[in-house]
Amino acid sequence: MNPIVHALVIGVPLLTFLMGGAALATWFERRFSGKMQTRWGPTVVGPAGLLQPVADALKMMQKEDIVPRAADRTLFNLAPLFPPFLVIASAAVIPFAATIDADGAVKATGVVADLDIGILWVMALAGLMVFPIWVAGWAANNKYTMLSGMRMVAQGISYEIPMVLCALVPVIFAGSLSLSDIVAYQAVHGWNALSLSPSAIVGAVAALLFFLASLAEANRIPFDIPEAESELIGGVMVEYTGIKFGIFMLAEYLHTIVASALTAVLFFGGPLGPGPAVLGLGWMLGKTLVLFVLIYWIRWSLYRFRSDQLMDLCWRILVPLSLVLVMLSALLVAGGFA
């Protein structure tokens, strides 16, 4: 099939799923946290409050659009556009379904673009995600947004290192950067985090570290300090009104969905699971949902880290551990144990 047609056929449903998922995530977060805190959450708008995201979006759209007088207008208006764009673009390489190949092998499909450099594309975009937030913080000409922007950049570039290194572990096992090759490897050798082979320990620890680093990249509690709602009001987003603020929030919820989908593909087999291959989409969505609920569960259970605790955790614990994991996985592959 023509690559552009293929991309559209898979990309449009994926885009719908991501946007709808992000909107539902706002509803889910409020109902789930309500459940954990024995209160209701939104129940009024629509059945069980399911139209609450629509109401939120309409409310945000009709708010007055204020740009501070001394702000850099062009950058201030441009900065919100990039975070959702980068997050959705990084979801273009995630396989969502599986088929059986001609010779009985499991092949991951349902990818918008099955790049040879699959995971590198995701990591490159994750590295780019810190800029629009810094630009937003700077363009608002506000000391607090500037502070928050610097903290977010520092956190983003620091946690990028364990994220990239731990994403290298399945790459070393599978011998390829392409995400469909990683899924094919897991089809033969067992899931990277849960198999019974010697590489499972390395895979499990790498999964945990990758998950934590993705949480830090997405600025979710406990790594929430740059945009802490109760301390810095909204951090970078303080000067943004109405729909621009909504776009930043949308990017954050999208990032949680994409981070869970990515962890599911890299470490938990993605579309693989017992049963016929046509259930691949269901398995992928199920695993993404489990990790997604885990993200929100963590968010409403833990305190947030202080800035220095955050940096300490990254540089003194996660980075050396990730380096050791990469070395161990290379040794395992060279020794023939994986």
> In the chain, where do the E strands start and end?
97-100, 106-109
Nearest CA among 89, 94, 22 for reference residue 268: 94
Decide: helix, strand or coil at residue 107: strand
Nearer to another protein, 34 or 68 (CB): 68
- Quick check: 139 binds another protein (CB under 8 A)? yes
Residue span 281-310 as binding mask against another protein, x where in contact by CB under 8 A, dash where not = ------------------------------
Residue span 11-50 as binding mask against another protein, x where in contact by CB under 8 A, dash where not = ----------------------------------------
Measured in degrees and rounded to the nearest 5, phi and psi for residue 49 equal: 75, 15
- The whole-angstrom separation of Cα 147 and Cα 165 is 28
Chain residues 112-131 in contact with another protein, contact rule CB under 8 A: 115-117, 120-121, 123-125, 127-128, 130-131
- Quick check: 58 binds another protein (CB under 8 A)? no
Total residues interacting with another protein, rule: CB under 8 A: 27
Shortest approach of another protein to residue 177 CB, angstroms?
A: 6
- The whole-angstrom separation of Cα 330 and Cα 338 is 10
Nearest CA among 329, 247, 288 for reference residue 23: 247
Shortest approach of another protein to residue 151 CB, angstroms?
A: 12
Chain residues 64-93 in contact with another protein, contact rule CB under 8 A: 70-72, 75
Task: Give the count of beta carbons closer than 10 Å to the beta carbon of residue 189.
Answer: 15
24-to-82, 119, 260 alpha-carbon distances in Å: 21, 27, 15
- Quick check: 135 binds another protein (CB under 8 A)? yes
Q: Which residues lie near another protein (CB under 8 A)? A: 70-72, 75, 115-117, 120-121, 123-125, 127-128, 130-131, 134-135, 138-139, 141, 150, 153, 157, 160, 164, 177
